[in-house]
Amino acid sequence: MPYSLKNKLVVAISSRALFNLERENFIYENEGLPAYTEHQISHEDELLKPGTAYSLVQALLDLNHIEKEAQVEVIILSRNSPSTGLRVFNSIEKKELNIKRAAFTGGEKISQYLDALKVDLFLSKNKEDVQDAIDAGFAAALLYDAPENFHPDENQIRIAFDGDAVIFSEESEAIYKEKGLDAFAANEKMLADDPLSKGPFAKFLLTLSKIKKEEPKRIRIALVTSRNSPAHKRAILTLRKWGVDVDEAFFLGGVGKTEILKSFNAHIFFDDQEIHLDPAAGEIPSGKVPYPSDSKLSVKE
């Protein structure tokens, strides 16, 4: 029977998200595809340095050593050609990462392959690819550069999520943006017992939560949100309704998130707002979750 990706946590990741390919990207953008191709082929036996999502991928793959059947599948999904992508697989082999599958689209859009590959999460440093994935209904994040002095936890995967417009829908954040904080707080208090709609990262969180229930000590999840009382109640009850137990929750009400995230030592932090991501990205790996193109919030910032 064919190998099935169903009932697994499938993470698709671009080459530049897994490894540091900033020099190579500079060559591509400034000297063109022929120069980039020549550089990749001539350096294909040189080991690439880790990129922003490397520690996260390594930690997720380590879960597969616990059970006989793999729970996590990491797939390289890249605009590279098969020839230029060979360097990536050479580095994967040298790093002994258990990544067996890849799709090199030779410059074509990659969003059309996300459904076929049963992707739960897509990570990239290409803005267009991430936006296409979000618009197609997939959890996706545009990664910041890797922080210089990040030291990941070696025993746990630690993932931090913002709430509104990330794991929850943007409906409440839209009220805040349009009518202000008082209207937002009143709305959340009135609807405290009504679950929030699912946001772009809800499915990924639910899948991650299922694995966590089997190995609770290996995964730690934090909600780090600008909500505070009374808006905290709706968030907690929504997660309870979904059957998701987060380990830690921080309702910060406008207090900066960076120090909390640094203390939590997240392998990655997902948020929709640059005001939180810009400072956090200097301390821990971070990814921006864009709004769908048709969102009322898509022109903000």
CB contact burial 95-109 (16+ within 10 A = b; e otherwise) = bebebeebbbbeeee
Amino acid found at 51 = G
- CA pair distance 109, 34, nearest whole angstrom: 20
**Residue where the block lists tokens 């597969």:** 64
Structure tokens at 272: 């929709």
- CA pair distance 147, 52, nearest whole angstrom: 8
Neighbours of 41 (CB within 10 A): 12
Catalytic residue among 129, 162, 164, 271: 162
- CA pair distance 292, 194, nearest whole angstrom: 24
Residue 199: alpha-carbon gap to chain centroid:
13
**Residue where the block lists tokens 């020099």:** 23
Residue 120 annotated to the active site: no
The residues annotated with a catalytic role in the active site are: 162
